[in-house]
Amino acid sequence: MSEALRRRLAEALGERASRGLLRRLRARSADDPRVNLADNDYLGLSRHPEVLAAAAEALRRWGASASASPLVTGYTELHAALESALAEWHGYPHALVMNSGYAANAAVLGRLPASGDLVLADRLVHASMVEGILRSGARLIRFPHNDLDALEMRLAEAGDRPTFVVTESVYSMDGDGPDLARLAALRDRHGFTWVLDEAHATGWHGATGSGLQEEQGVRGAADIVVGTLGKALGSQGAYVLCRDAEVRDTLVNLAGEFVYSTHLAPAAAAAGLAALGVARALAPERPAFHALSREWRAGLAEAGFAVPYGTSPIVPLVFGDPSAVLRAAEALSSSGFLVSAIRPPTVPDGTARLRLSLRRGLREVDREAFLSALKGAVA
């Protein structure tokens, strides 16, 4: 590498460090004793016996790798079975398994919109969606977070050009979401293509756990849904659901993320399929997840933290100052809680935060101990 390039990289990193925004990897140990309030395994399914058994059986039967991209030989009967189950669960005719949610979003939004199209995206949609949109060549306009009045104004100005509206159902760093019934009504009135990321809602929301569309009574309403296997489903990988076969066929033919990459390992597909069954069977427990979310939010509010109302598993504690967030995360870690400090550019400048990730099985004593540790951490 040239000295000029090395210096350029060092300067960019130094600039980040000077703003308290440099990131470092930390290898976690398998037997980390801290209470985990940081990952996305909301239902604890990554260690569920049925999920582990399905993955182990797939490892024995199919080996550790898909060993090829899907159009070569990487697409197996397991992937096909997973797609059928996902499509049926969410109420869509077509599903396509992809290697990650990042790849799925980048593929959908990089390949479907084209130059001359308009994409209206919520200000806080995930980086993978923004990357796809920018690559597509379409015009991107971002509307204020969850502000459907602002979206409606933009739609009125959109004219006849093909228009996409891009939202999440549970926002990954804020744990809130838009009114999906209103979005569905807007889509029916304006005829845009609605792309909805249900990554953080799947498993937690909806009577059968298929997500916020189900919970809000608009199952199957969005034109295209992206979901992940790597969060509440406790596995790895992702999927795209759509009503039109052309969407799936376009991704199968044109999305580089799908065509040119070794397909999802069969064991991950098998784990996802087993987790889907477990998540569905948790229906009677689902109200308790939402009660848990409300109780944590109430406790945090009582302790003086401004937390948004809601029932999702994600609760943001906004500090603003990146260094203060890091200090709080360190102090909580010493008290036995693993929490993630989220800093710009993952979240907008001035909104560095602790992102609490709640999970099935958290007890009242965990909440009380956390609240007391948090008070100490910010004192």
CB of 199 to ligand PLP, least distance (A): 4
Choosing from 48, 205, 231, 263, the catalytic residue is: 231
Q: Measured from the CB atom, is 314 or 332 closer to ligand PLP?
A: 314
- The contacts of residue 5 (CB under 8 Å, 6+ apart) are none
Q: Measured from the CB atom, is 54 or 196 closer to ligand PLP?
A: 196
CB of 273 to ligand PLP, least distance (A): 16
Binding site for ligand PLP (CB under 6 A): 100-102, 105, 126, 128, 168, 172, 197, 199-200, 228, 230, 238
CB of 197 to ligand PLP, least distance (A): 5
| Catalytic residue flag (residue 40) | yes
Choosing from 94, 200, 205, 263, the catalytic residue is: 200
**Beta-strand pair 163-168/193-197:** parallel
Choosing from 40, 210, 293, 357, the catalytic residue is: 40
Choosing from 99, 136, 169, 172, the catalytic residue is: 172
The backbone torsions φ and ψ at residue 14, rounded to the nearest 5 degrees and listed phi first, read: -65, -35
CB of 236 to ligand PLP, least distance (A): 7
- The contacts of residue 336 (CB under 8 Å, 6+ apart) are 33, 34, 35, 369, 373
> If we measure between CA atoms, which residue out of 328, 350, 331 comes closest to residue 341?
328
The residues pairing with 338 across neighbouring beta strands, listed in sequence order, are 36
Q: Measured from the CB atom, is 69 or 335 closer to ligand PLP?
A: 69
The residues pairing with 352 across neighbouring beta strands, listed in sequence order, are 320
| Catalytic residue flag (residue 197) | yes
CB of 364 to ligand PLP, least distance (A): 28
Place of tokens 């602002």: 150
Choosing from 83, 117, 122, 168, the catalytic residue is: 168
Residue 147 gets which letter from DSSP? -
Q: Measured from the CB atom, is 21 or 240 closer to ligand PLP?
A: 240
Residue in the shown chain whose Cβ atom is closest to ligand PLP: 101
| Catalytic residue flag (residue 126) | yes
CB of 172 to ligand PLP, least distance (A): 3
Determine contact, residues 190/182, Cβ cutoff 8 Å.
Answer: no
Q: How far apart are CA 85 and CA 271, in angstroms?
A: 13
Q: Measured from the CB atom, is 311 or 312 closer to ligand PLP?
A: 312
| Catalytic residue flag (residue 39) | no
Q: Measured from the CB atom, is 54 or 314 closer to ligand PLP?
A: 314
The residues pairing with 95 across neighbouring beta strands, listed in sequence order, are 241
The C-alpha torsion from 26 through 31 and 37 to 41, rounded to 10°, is 100
Name the helix (H) or strand (E) containing 298.
helix 286-302
The packing angle between helices 180-190 and 148-157, to 10°, is 10
Q: How far apart are CA 165 and CA 120, in angstroms?
A: 5
Q: Measured from the CB atom, is 83 or 168 closer to ligand PLP?
A: 168
Q: How far apart are CA 57 and CA 267, in angstroms?
A: 8
Amino acid identity of residue 111, one-letter, is R
| Catalytic residue flag (residue 231) | yes
Choosing from 79, 90, 126, 205, the catalytic residue is: 126
The backbone torsions φ and ψ at residue 311, rounded to the nearest 5 degrees and listed phi first, read: -130, 10
Residue 373 gets which letter from DSSP? H
| Catalytic residue flag (residue 79) | no
CB of 123 to ligand PLP, least distance (A): 14
What residues are annotated to the active site? 40, 126, 168, 172, 197, 200, 231
